[in-house]
Amino acid sequence: MDIFLGLLTATLFLFVFWRRLKEDYAPDQVFSTGFYILLGISVGALLAVNFRPTWWFWSGLSGALLGLSIGVERFRLRLFEALEAAIYGGLILCAGLFLREWAGGFDVFVLWLHLGVLFLILVFEFLNLHYKKFTWYKSGRVGFSGLTVAGIFFILRAVVASYFPNTVSFIGKSDVILSGIFAFVSFISVYNLSKSSS
C-alpha cells in the first residue's frame, strides 16, 4: 500500500508539474526538473531518517529546493513559474503523505491534515483563476498563487506545530520558527512580485 501510494503521488506530482509548465518548456526539461526535485526529496528524507529522523520534512524540503535550483539553472527555467509548479506539486505530495499516514493508523488528526492540504489545493486553483483581477496585484506575474498558498501552508504549519509538536513531521519550537520564516519569505516575495514590472 505504501509503495502504491508513493508511486501514485510521485506520478501526480510529475503530471501537475508538467501541466503547469508545458506551454513554455520542452517535456524533457520539465520532467528532468521534476525528477531532480523528487530525487532531492528522497535523498534529503533518507539522510534525515539515518541521522536526524524528526527533521525529515525539512531535510526533504531542502532537497526539493536544491533539485529545483539545479533544474532552473540547467534548463534556464523562469524561477517563479517553476517554483509555483513545484509548490502545487508539493501540495499533491503532502496530501499523499498524510493519506498514507492516515491509512496506516486511521488517526483522525492526520485525516484533518490531509483534508487541510486538499483545501489548500482548492485555494490554489481559485487564486490561479482570479489573481490577475486583483487590483493591488498590478504586475500580474506568475507566482502569486503558489507563493500565497505556500505562505498559508507554513503559517498553518507553525500553528499546528505550536499545539501538536510531536505529530507526523513537526519538531516543536524549531518548527514554529522555521515555518514562520518560510511564511514571511513567501509573503514578502508576493509583495515584491506585485511591484515588479516584468
* pLDDT score at 168: 57
Integer angstrom CA distances of residue 50 from 2, 116, 174: 19, 29, 20
Helix (H) or strand (E) holding 150: helix 144-163
pLDDT (tens digit, 9 = 90+) per residue, 117-165?
999 999 999 999 989 888 888 888 889 999 999 999 999 988 888 877 6
pLDDT at residue 99, rounded to an integer? 86
**Which residues in the chain show pLDDT less than 70?**
1-2, 165-170, 197-198
Question: How long, in residues, is the chain?
Answer: 198
Report whether 91 contacts 121 (CB < 8 A).
Answer: yes
Q: What is the pTM of this model?
A: 0.91
Sequence-ordered alpha helix ranges (H) in the chain: 2-21, 27-51, 56-75, 79-105, 108-130, 144-163, 173-195
> How high is the pLDDT of residue 169?
62
Residue 51 cell numbers, joined: 541521522
Please, are residues 100 and 71 in contact by the beta-carbon 8 Å criterion? Answer: no
* pLDDT at residue 109 in the model: 81
List the domain boundaries for the chain. Answer: 2-195
- What is the structure's pLDDT at 21? 96
